[in-house]
Structure 1
């Protein structure tokens, strides 16, 4: 469910837990498209037959593919009205804790850890955890930085 707030209320959101997104299946097609976009065609990602005999027992998503899903998931969880521009400003800490096997389902939780005023807007630091359905450890843990300008 998307939390939507007015720009005028943005400053007081530090500590807000935005909850969880819906589950998303990581398909081989998605992995292959990412491989094409990044020119990273390592067999562990794009050759399911060979990957079955590899260290993870099957093909896995690229770590950066798993990380890139934060963009999709973030927009599912949060929106600010009354802004002219939204910017992915960057990342602080990122860890790829567990591989995401092709066919697995993932979702993300986001907690707004800090909100600071910047020239013309606000910067949000958001602690993001992508979990794997049935997994014991998250796939990705990252702090994303997002800016909203009035």
Structure 2
């Protein structure tokens, strides 16, 4: 599936209130979890110790950090929307973020996005995007929330 191409406020506005699409599935590995743990100094055993997680954990295996799943959003977002003609893009905020279901190691996840609102703030485009990180073969998403981006077009 090709990403939606957007090059201006007017093009964003055409998608207001609509689904923007879904990314490809992304495989979460133990190596990614371990690298994230090292980078963030979050070595909680439920993430980094597969043997202990199998014996003592509630999920039968290690799980990805919630913030790891959030950190792959830029990669997945680029598969949904290709914003062109930019001077700069800023991650402005996150509203109503809820981690609903843990992501077990070796799961596949994908991002679904809907443009909740777009506004032109004196030349800066504020886009509010409802997102859901879906887990393959699971009913509940890993997380839901509203991401807020600021786009400065040329």
- Normalising by structure 1, what TM-score? 0.95
Moved over 6 A (4+): none
Note the 1:90-109 alignment, pairs <5 A. Answer: 90-109=93-112
> How many corresponding residue pairs?
150
What is the aligned counterpart of 1:50 among 49, 52, 62? 52
Which secondary structure does the structure 2 equivalent of 1:84 belong to?
Answer: strand
Q: Which residue of 1 aligns with 2:3?
A: 2
Q: Distance in 1 between matches of 2:143 and 2:70?
A: 7
Give unmatched runs, 5+ long, in structure 2: none
Q: How many Å apart are 1:34 and its aligned residue?
A: 0.6
Q: Which residue of 1 aligns with 2:15?
A: 13
1:10-63, CA deviations, whole angstroms, 9 ceiling, x for partnerless residues? 233211211111111100011011101110000000000000121111000001
Note the 1:66-85 alignment, pairs <5 A. Answer: 66-85=69-88
Which secondary structure does the structure 1 equivalent of 2:86 belong to?
Answer: coil
Q: Distance in 2 between matches of 1:23 and 1:131?
A: 9
Two-structure CA RMSD over aligned residues (Å): 1.1
Q: How many Å apart are 1:3 and its aligned residue?
A: 0.7
- Normalising by structure 2, what TM-score? 0.93
Note the 1:128-139 alignment, pairs <5 A. Answer: 128-139=131-142
Q: Distance in 2 between matches of 1:85 and 1:14?
A: 21
Decide whether the 8 Å contact of 1:12 with 1:115 is kept in 2.
Answer: no
1:87-110, CA deviations, whole angstroms, 9 ceiling, x for partnerless residues? 111101100000000001100100
Q: Distance in 2 between matches of 1:32 and 1:65?
A: 10
Which secondary structure does the structure 1 equivalent of 2:105 belong to?
Answer: coil
